[in-house]
A and B are shown apart, each in its own frame.
Chain A
């Protein structure tokens, strides 16, 4: 759910901001350190925020789990069991 929330917010903000300010042919070009302002606020800024969120989640938010034990190599189960298809 956490990942879905971040994805939806990032997509909505990024594409939404670009739709409002990036698709404006005919208007004077505004640059911020040589970068169009719609790119700065619509893409670079959320990119940095999401990177910080990801770093937090990776280091503190996500818990470790046991991956269970290795099974025998395959070529055993399907041959013995019934096949669904």
Chain B
């Protein structure tokens, strides 16, 4: 019976999420129109929803990140350090202007906002296409994380019965169950279901970390014991930069990742769309306060917990499993179930948020443009089909995914930021910015990231045994020109092209500026 308790906790979590989906569906129907309700929650998000769902907490935070701490040690505190400025960057820089612009344009999706602000169909289509591609890719990592957790607590599955691409039968079963549950409540509740389950699960994550932290310290004999065990097992690099057994975070990458989480975090589609959905600026200020406190109590303890994991789980050959294995090791089965529900909830929340984004990009930004008179029932059915299709494709991708989840998350997070951040800044603050400039910025930024990852893939394919030697060791590695991460190069290309092409272009029309810059 005790073996079933963690599973019972996860089943409760899934049931609660489905109930939230039903409630969200009812709330969505109260507002004005299907699209605004289903994809933006009728601009009614409060402080807690904004604070705990607008940033980049995901399956990566509770699955990928712990695996890196376990592998490389204390240097991960430096890798994640820019989370200290994330609340300021996310809410204080773009918050008010994106909220204002989304109301002035009437836009309910990010591609719509860019298209209306710059009066460009091409920009809107490019933004939608990139959103579908980037988020679908990102979902692969999230689906894998969800299946990994569920696989560990599902009883009696024959691991050796059969496998696909090294993934055992138990993983495939877990993947199917996870996908069916998340798709069900997302399809039913839309944006509000994604946000509300995200909020519920974020609170659960905080509870999970708060429980896991003291248990890990006690079980390992304290932080000093954890650190020294790590040093003994992995060498002195476990307590130092650039990391244990590898040049994981040389100075160039340390600066790159300070950019990554704080600056690139501002440009994530899931973040920007929430900045379009908050109620008022007081909500924004309170969200900033809440997120500052939340990040402090989550990230630093997380590093410490998985430093202790080195002492408790030496020689783990699948580091992505360190979080659920720690929970099952240090806590009694019921408490382990509650702790496990935290990363599981994080993954579910991310998946449902991304599915809604993909669906909105396809239905609201592409289909509804072509068929403005499409009946609401058709839009609803199409939105649901888009969610199911995206989940199916990403689930298949999860079977063939690389070893470290975080490698995919860094790639997709960087690409998304290079696609949307500078165009969003141009839209919000730069009157001289033009549609061609924004399009060049978007394509140039993403193109740069893709080229550097493709170059890494080509190098590995043509030179067996090649790997970049810095950063995370993975089968999915980019090249790092001058030791700097791809998204920094992508962001630089995005800024240069955005400014250069805009200045070479005709100035925007005066009436457009009057409409969208009323008080600037």
> Interface residues, chain B, CB within 8 Å of chain A?
33, 35-36, 43, 74-75, 77-78, 81-82, 84-85, 87-89, 91-93, 96, 99-100, 103-108, 112, 115-116, 118-124, 222-227, 231, 236-237, 239-242, 251, 254-255, 258, 262-263, 280-282, 284-286, 288-289, 292-293, 295-296, 300, 304, 368-369, 372, 434-436, 439, 508, 518
With A and B bound together, what is the CA distance between A1 and B253 in angstroms?
A: 25
- Flag if A51 contacts B292 (CB, 8 Å): yes
Query: What chain B residues lie within 8 Å of A11 (beta carbons)?
Result: 82, 85, 255, 258
Query: What chain A residues lie within 8 Å of B108 (beta carbons)?
Result: 73-74
- Flag if B240 contacts A85 (CB, 8 Å): no
The answer, among B106, B288, B369, for a CB contact under 8 Å with A58, is B288
- Flag if A6 contacts B88 (CB, 8 Å): yes
- Flag if B292 contacts A23 (CB, 8 Å): no
> Interface residues, chain A, CB within 8 Å of chain B?
2-3, 6-7, 10-11, 14-15, 18-19, 22-26, 29, 31, 33-36, 38-39, 42-44, 46-48, 50-51, 53-55, 57-59, 62, 64-65, 67-75, 77-78, 81-85
Q: Told that A11-B258, A84-B118, A85-B435 touch, could you supply 17 new A-B pairs with CB distance under 8 A? A: A6-B88, A7-B262, A23-B251, A25-B237, A29-B239, A31-B227, A39-B74, A53-B88, A59-B289, A62-B285, A70-B43, A71-B104, A74-B107, A77-B105, A84-B436, A85-B120, A85-B122
Central interface residue in B121, B237, B240, by most chain A CB within 10 Å: B240
Query: What chain A residues lie within 8 Å of B77 (beta carbons)?
Result: 39, 43-44
A/B interface sample: 15 pairs, CB < 8 A: A7-B88, A11-B85, A11-B258, A22-B78, A29-B231, A34-B222, A36-B239, A47-B296, A59-B289, A65-B96, A65-B100, A68-B104, A78-B115, A85-B122, A85-B123
- Flag if A33 contacts B85 (CB, 8 Å): no
With A and B bound together, what is the CA distance between A82 and B435 in angstroms?
A: 12
Residue of A nearest to B223 (CB): A34
- Flag if A51 contacts B296 (CB, 8 Å): yes
With A and B bound together, what is the CA distance between A32 and B200 in angstroms?
A: 35
Query: What chain B residues lie within 8 Å of A71 (beta carbons)?
Result: 103-106
Query: What chain B residues lie within 8 Å of A2 (beta carbons)?
Result: 92
With A and B bound together, what is the CA distance between A27 and B105 in angstroms?
A: 59
Chain B binding surface, main DSSP class: helix
- Flag if A29 contacts B281 (CB, 8 Å): no
- Flag if A67 contacts B103 (CB, 8 Å): yes
- Flag if A69 contacts B87 (CB, 8 Å): no
The answer, among B33, B82, B119, B226, for a CB contact under 8 Å with A84, is B119
With A and B bound together, what is the CA distance between A84 and B402 in angstroms?
A: 41
The answer, among B225, B281, B434, for a CB contact under 8 Å with A65, is B281
Query: What chain A residues lie within 8 Å of B296 (beta carbons)?
Result: 47-48, 51
Query: What chain B residues lie within 8 Å of A6 (beta carbons)?
Result: 85, 88
With A and B bound together, what is the CA distance between A31 and B293 in angstroms?
A: 26
With A and B bound together, what is the CA distance between A72 and B32 in angstroms?
A: 11
Query: What chain B residues lie within 8 Å of A18 (beta carbons)?
Result: 78, 241, 254
- Flag if B84 contacts A50 (CB, 8 Å): yes
- Flag if B242 contacts A23 (CB, 8 Å): yes
- Flag if A75 contacts B369 (CB, 8 Å): yes
Given known contacts A23-B242, A64-B282, is B116 in contact with A77 (CB within 8 Å)? yes
Residue of B nearest to A14 (CB): B81
Query: What chain B residues lie within 8 Å of A50 (beta carbons)?
Result: 84-85, 88
Residue of A nearest to B222 (CB): A34
With A and B bound together, what is the CA distance between A23 and B33 in angstroms?
A: 57
Query: What chain B residues lie within 8 Å of A46 (beta carbons)?
Result: 81, 84
With A and B bound together, what is the CA distance between A38 and B222 in angstroms?
A: 19
CB distance from B277 to the nearest CB of A (A): 12
With A and B bound together, what is the CA distance between A76 and B225 in angstroms?
A: 64
Residue of B nearest to A11 (CB): B258
Query: What chain A residues lie within 8 Å of B120 (beta carbons)?
Result: 78, 83-85
Query: What chain A residues lie within 8 Å of B254 (beta carbons)?
Result: 15, 18-19
